[in-house]
Structure 1
Amino acid sequence: MRKLAIAPAVLATAALLLAGCSAGSLGSSDDSGGKVALSFLVDNTPQTVKTGEQLAKDFTAKNPDITVKVETRPAGTDGDNIVKTRLSTGDMTDVFMYNTGSLFQAIAPQKNLVPLSDQPYIGQLDQNFVTTVTSADKVYGAPWGGFMGGGVLYSRPVYSKLSLQVPKTWSEFMANNARIRAAGTDPVIQTYQETWTSQLLILADFHNVSATEPDFAAKYTKNQAKYATSAAARQGFEHLQAIHDAGYLNKDFASAKLTDGLRQLAQGTGAHYPTLSSTLAQLLADNPGKENDIGMFAIPGTDASKNGLTVWSPAGVYIPTTTTGAKLDAAKKFVAYVASPDGCASQTTASTPTGPYAVKGCTLPASVPQAVKDMQTYIDGGQSSLALEFLSPVKGPALEQICVEVGSGIRKAGPAAALYDEDVKKQAQQLGLEGW
Structure 2
Amino acid sequence: MRNQTSPRGRLRMIALAAGAVLALAGCSAGSLGSSGGGGGGVNLTWVLDSNASTMKAAESVAAAFKAQNPDITVDLESRPSGSEGDNIVKTRLATGDMPDLFLYNSGSLFQAIGPVQNLVPVTDEPWVGTLEENFKRVVTADGNVFGAPFGSQMTGAILYNKRIYAELGLQIPKTWSEFMANNAAVKAAGRVPVIQTYGDTYTSQLFVLGDFHNVAASEPDFAERYTAGQAKFATSPAALKGWQHLEELHDLGYYNEDFPTAKMEEGMRKLGDGEGVHYPMLTNGITTLAVASPEGAKDIGIFPIPGDDPAKNGLTVWSPSAVYIPKTTEGAQLDAAKKLQAFIASPAGCAAYAQGVRPNGPFAVDGCELPDDVLPAVRDFQSFVDASAFSPALEFLSPIKGPALEQITVEVGSGIRPAADGAALYDEDVRKQALQLGLPGWD
Q: Taking structure 1 as the reference length, what is the TM-score of the superposition?
A: 0.90
Q: Report whether the alignment pairs 1:145 with 2:156.
A: no
Mapped partners of 1:302, 1:139: distance in 2:
36
Corresponding position: 1:121 with 2:107: no
- Paired with 1:79 and 1:411, the residues of 2 have a C-alpha distance of 33
1:305 and 2:311 are equivalent in the alignment = yes
Post-superposition shift, 1:84?
Answer: 1.9
Q: Does 1:429 align with 2:435?
A: yes
How far apart in 2 are the matches of 1:411 and 1:89?
Answer: 44
**Aligned residues: CA RMSD:** 2.4
1:210 to 205, 216, 232: 216
CA distance in 2, matches of 1:427, 1:273: 30
- Give the counterpart of 2:277 among 271, 275, 294: 271
Is 1:67 matched with 2:73?
yes
1:327 and 2:333 correspond: yes
What residue identity is the alignment partner of 2:348? D
Q: Distance in 2 between matches of 1:127 and 1:219?
A: 22
Q: After alignment, is 41-50 or 260-269 more displaced?
A: 41-50
Unaligned runs of 5+ in 2: 11-36
Matches within 5 A, 1:172-191: 172-191=178-197
Q: 1:416 to 1:81 in 2, by over 3 A?
A: closer
Letter in 2 for 1:172: E
- Once residues 415 and 50 of structure 1 are traced to their aligned partners in structure 2, the CA distance between those partners, rounded to angstroms, is 43
CA distance in 2, matches of 1:36, 1:240: 53
- Of 69-78 and 305-314, more deviation after overlay is shown by 69-78
Letter aligned with residue 186 of structure 1: V
Partner of 2:393: 387
Q: Distance in 1 between matches of 2:315 and 2:52?
A: 29
CA distance in 2, matches of 1:91, 1:252: 46
Aligned match for 2:231, one of 225, 241, 252: 225
User: Greater CA deviation, 391-400 or 146-155?
Assistant: 391-400
Paired residue for 2:416, among 387, 410, 415? Answer: 410
For 2:138, which of 127, 132, 138 is the aligned residue? Answer: 132
Aligned 8 A contact 1:338 1:344 in 2: yes
2:123 match: secondary structure: coil
2:117 pairs with one of 101, 111, 114: 111
> Does the 8 A contact of 1:149 with 1:309 survive in 2?
yes
User: Displacement, 1:376?
Assistant: 1.0
Shift of 1:300: 0.5
Amino acid in the other structure paired with 2:310: A
- 1:82 is displaced (CA, Å) by 2.3
Deviations 1:408-432 (A, max 9, x none): 3333222322222122222221221
CA contact (8 A) 1:244 1:409 kept: yes
Contact 1:195–1:404 (Cα < 8 Å) also in 2: yes
Q: Give the aligned residue type for 1:413.
A: A
Once residues 77 and 399 of structure 1 are traced to their aligned partners in structure 2, the CA distance between those partners, rounded to angstroms, is 16
Q: Return the alpha-carbon distance in structure 2 between the equivalents of residues 237 and 427 of structure 1.
A: 20
Give the fraction of aligned pairs with identical amino acids, expressed as a percent: 58
Alpha-carbon contact 1:291-1:368 (below 8 Å) kept: no
For the pair 1:88 / 2:104, whether they are aligned, the reply is: no
Q: Tell me the number of residue pairs that the alignment of Structure 1 and Structure 2 aligns.
A: 418
Q: 1:163 aligns with which of 162, 169, 190?
A: 169
* Correspondence for 2:257: 251
The counterpart of 1:78, out of the listed 84, 90, 100, is 84
The amino acid that maps onto 1:422 is E
* Alpha-carbon shift at residue 174 of structure 1 (Å): 0.9
Residues 1:43 and 2:43 aligned together: no
Q: Is residue 329 of structure 2 the alignment partner of residue 317 of structure 1?
A: no
- What is the DSSP-based 3-state SS (H/G/I as helix, E as strand, rest coil) of the residue aligned with 2:301? strand
State the alpha-carbon separation in 2 of the partners of residues 145 and 278 from structure 1: 11
TM-superposed deviation, 1:32: 7.8
